[in-house]
Amino acid sequence: MLSGTVMPAESAPQEKIWMAFPSEGYSLGDTEQTRHEARATWAAVAHAVAEFEPVTILVDPNERATADRYLSSAIEIIEAPLNDAWMRDIGPTFVHAPDGSVAAVDWVFNGWGAQEWAQWDRDANIGRFVAEAAGVPVIPSDLVNEGGGIHVDGEGTVLLTDTVQLDPGRNPGLTRADVEAELTRTIGSTHAVWLPCGLTRDSERFGTRGHVDIVAAITAPGRLLLHTQRNESHPDCQVSRTVRAAIEASHDGSGRSWEIIEMPAPATLTDDDGYVDYSYINHLVVNGGVIACAFGDAHDRDAAAILAEQYPGRKVVAVDARPLFERGGGIHCITQQQPAPRPI
């Protein structure tokens, strides 16, 4: 059993990005139009990433012929049985071992808290499948957790939410101390910052119950990017205040107070299903770049400028993420980075 493993910051050098292609079910949709929209959007993200580094995408065998039409030869395809396509959550979390080599934590995945609409009999196997395909050791965990439910600074600090790791549908009976101990064992966290909740829609029926990766992101040690809804008519305006208060009352693993950079929420407030949880926080950092969410929104340009400031020297590439958020997530949610081995 490996010990002393540490999850690096997402800005650390990467080997590749892992994804999954939408298969029959909730994310794909019921009509040809919605199916095309889903496939085209996942493919657009894959091709944006491929401009910076390798991409490997899992494809259900039943979708292979279709995937071949949407994905260029630049994308490596591996067939695997899938229920859905949210690789951040169904895949493993990669970590560095003390010798700088890479390993993968295989969390328990149970459909975001055993939600009645979710299926996960196939997706529950993807963490180990990806680790083995990557050729790295597997670190098994009994914690029900998803990659979108944690965010780290690479120096021991982890962000998480009470409504995810302490969700009775995920980890009944576990305390904060129990969760923190397992995160220390698996990803090397030494200091946890617990946020009280996630965004409003993400807490509704088809949400994750509060993933941190649309709320806050650590862009550098001691510096945090915070989703900020300023429109009083949107319920996330109060959520933003509540989360900010929790962050201001906390510190990072080195004892530093947070430098909070506000990331304005998109100007768009609603869609056909109610208040949106559109968030620019849900970006992906890659080697030399940032793949950013766009929403055809007045704030897209400002958000891209903030990301460029937060990740100097990286090119910001925006992809329309509305089809992803309509299905329950964003660009960060459908991707998972595999870090490069760390030189010792």
Catalytic positions are 333
Burial class (CB in 10 A: 0-12, 13-18, 19+), 99: exposed
Please tell me the distance from the alpha carbon of residue 77 to that of residue 19, in angstroms, as a whole number.
10
Q: Where are the alpha helices (DSSP H) in the chain?
A: 32-50, 64-70, 87-90, 111-114, 126-134, 162-165, 176-187, 236-248, 300-310, 322-326
- The 3-state DSSP composition of the chain as helix, strand, coil percent (nearest 5) reads 30, 25, 45
Please tell me the distance from the alpha carbon of residue 267 to that of residue 337, in angstroms, as a whole number.
30
What is the SS3 assignment for 265? coil
Which is nearest to 146 in space by CA: 156, 118, 27, 133?
118
